[in-house]
Amino acid sequence: MAEVLGMFTVQQTIGNVLCCKCGISMQPNAANMCAKCLRSEVDITEDLQKHVVIVHCPECDGYLQPPRSWIKAQLESKELLTFCIKKLKNLNKVKLVNAEFIWTEPHSKRIKIRLKVQKEVLNGAVLEQSYIIEYVVQDQMCDSCSKVQVNPDQWVAAVQLRQHVSHRRTFFYLEQLIIKHDAANRAIKIQQLDQGIDFFFGHRSHALKFVDFVSRVVLVRTRNAKQLASHDHKSNIVNYKYTFSVEISPVCREDLICLPPKVAASLGNIGPLVICTKVSNSIALLDPFTLRHCFLDADQYWRASFKPLLSSRQLVEYVVLDVDMVSEEVNIGGSKYVLADIQVARVSDFGKNDTIFSVRTHLGHLLDAGDYALGYDLYRANSNDFELEKYKGLVLPEVILIKKSYEEKRQKKRGKPRSWKLKSLNMEVDNSGKGRDQEQKMHSEYEHFLRDLEENPDLRFNISLYRDKEYQRSETTSVADGEDVPSIPLEELLADIDLNDIDGEEDGIGE
């Protein structure tokens, strides 16, 4: 107001005083001492711990939280920082401002943390000070790990995952989900069998938690049993071994299904021939001739379960001769479909006959004349499906197309490495009775699974893909080699971080 009226104003200034100890000029405070003299007179960290011993399990990377609980934490993680701070005594006498790790050698068995604290000292003056705490790590195995070391077969609960199909595509996908969510971190042993995987746990609660995770990502039904392991008659202590049998639905993505009449009627008379487009804790079904769709949850499926009429191993390759659009583009569950009338011929018939099939398909937005497609050959298929016989007078189509094929274009890239990779569980493989043919079959199925990930973005949405450090793009690789072939963009890949690699980089920078 005074400035607006043009009046003279006096600037408010803070005068300096001399420190009562060293005599330097400083701004006044309650103690009339500079910061250096105040620290020399008062040490607010005097009653705080500087050395602490913590117990670490080298097998499961857990830290002992007395009296018996163990907390799992990685080096320099938020969980480990919180655990270390809670171990300190008398920290409530000061105000914690900041906490951070100081880098130490991983094999030094030392963890250092720098804390910045504040405390009110002489005459209300607030002093801020930093100090370093050294934690000495002592290795000691936890109870569950020590039992495993003594006897690896000393498990309490086992989860048996089974799926009665002729391939392992579902287990490849489920393995990646387990790795991403770290669902099997409490398993003491994992064993891969012919038709499934067995997980062994040291506690029944860990097995129940794992079964609950599996039921949330795939369509399953569970049965459980228990067997008496030991009984102490004097103390009346009983020990049981628990087994959880988890059966996964045999219906997989891209399977052709003939719905039972009652199921089709309950779903609004859809089908009866439908395609499975997605499998999670429910099944997504699509009628390829009308684009009608529906979903089946676990209760609906297991109430009247059914098996696929044809599976993905029976797909036949066709070449597209002509395409005639029938409908506009329709978005169903995030996927686009267009009805079209298409003329196709079997690739295997070239040079043998002139057989041409006219079919209606839901892939009109993907296929053009000259493209290749994979589908089910019902013209030559010999199906003995019990549900199919219930539909009297049903005229089966000659061909049902499932997806676009890139096999011819992949021939140019055969033998070239991918720029990405997947992680795998540490499993014991049961090789009893397996020959060279079984190994080649497993390798072929895994290769088809990797191709499915490249072709289907929805399938890799819940999977962690990692950059391959050993991948080097060849100088002879041309743009035409990978033209129109599905691939995974670099922005979807994660860096496979290794602490040893980081240590090596820091050593190189220091040199």
Profile the chain (511 residues) by mean pLDDT over runs of 10 residues: 63 77 80 77 84 90 88 89 91 91 90 92 79 93 76 82 91 93 88 90 92 94 91 85 95 92 90 90 92 91 90 90 90 87 90 87 91 90 78 87 85 72 86 72 88 86 83 50 66 62 43 35
Query: Helices (DSSP H) in 226-325: which residue ranges?
Result: 261-266, 298-303
List strand residue ranges (DSSP E) for 347-482, in order.
357-361, 372-377, 399-405, 420-421, 428-429, 465-467
pLDDT of res. 22: 84
C-alpha–C-alpha distance, residues 98 and 274, integer Å: 60
Among candidate residues 76, 130, 132, the one with its CA nearest the CA of residue 106: 76
C-alpha–C-alpha distance, residues 437 and 440, integer Å: 5
Residue type, 242: Y
Residues ≥6 apart with Cβ < 8 Å to 334: 458
pLDDT of res. 2: 56
Residues ≥6 apart with Cβ < 8 Å to 233: none
Query: pTM for the complete prediction?
Result: 0.72
The Cβ of residue 324 has, within 10 Å, a number of other Cβ atoms equal to 11
C-alpha–C-alpha distance, residues 224 and 238, integer Å: 18
424: left (phi over 0), alpha (psi -120 to 50) or beta: beta
C-alpha–C-alpha distance, residues 199 and 486, integer Å: 35
Among candidate residues 478, 507, 368, 466, the one with its CA nearest the CA of residue 412: 478
Cβ atoms of 187 and 152 closer than 8 Å: no
C-alpha–C-alpha distance, residues 95 and 73, integer Å: 25
- Half-sphere CA count of 284, side-chain side, radius 13 A: 12
Cα Dmax for the chain: 108
DSSP 157: E
293: left (phi over 0), alpha (psi -120 to 50) or beta: beta
Which pairing describes strands 335-337 and 273-279: parallel, antiparallel, or unpaired?
A: unpaired
Among candidate residues 222, 224, 275, 273, the one with its CA nearest the CA of residue 251: 275
The gap from C-alpha 74 to its chain's centroid, in whole angstroms, comes to 18
Measured CA to CA in angstroms, residue 435 lies from 170, 426, 430, 460 at distances of 22, 22, 12, 31
Measured CA to CA in angstroms, residue 257 lies from 249, 416, 452, 510 at distances of 13, 36, 20, 63
Residues ≥6 apart with Cβ < 8 Å to 487: 454
Q: What are phi and psi of 88, to 5 degrees?
A: -80, 140
C-alpha–C-alpha distance, residues 483 and 492, integer Å: 20
Q: Give the helix, strand, coil percentages of the chain, each rounded to 5.
A: 25, 35, 40
For the chain, the C-alpha Rg in angstroms (whole number) is 33
C-alpha–C-alpha distance, residues 310 and 251, integer Å: 10
The Cβ of residue 473 has, within 10 Å, a number of other Cβ atoms equal to 9
Residue type, 100: E
Strand partners, 198: 160, 191
Cβ atoms of 38 and 128 closer than 8 Å: no
Torsion (CA) 27, 28, 34, 38 in degrees, nearest 10: -150
pLDDT of res. 478: 40
Among candidate residues 194, 196, 212, the one with its CA nearest the CA of residue 204: 212
3-state SS class at 480: helix
Torsion (CA) 398, 403, 406, 407 in degrees, nearest 10: -50
Residue type, 335: S
pLDDT of res. 7: 67
pLDDT of res. 479: 40
| Residue 387 token pair | 């549900």
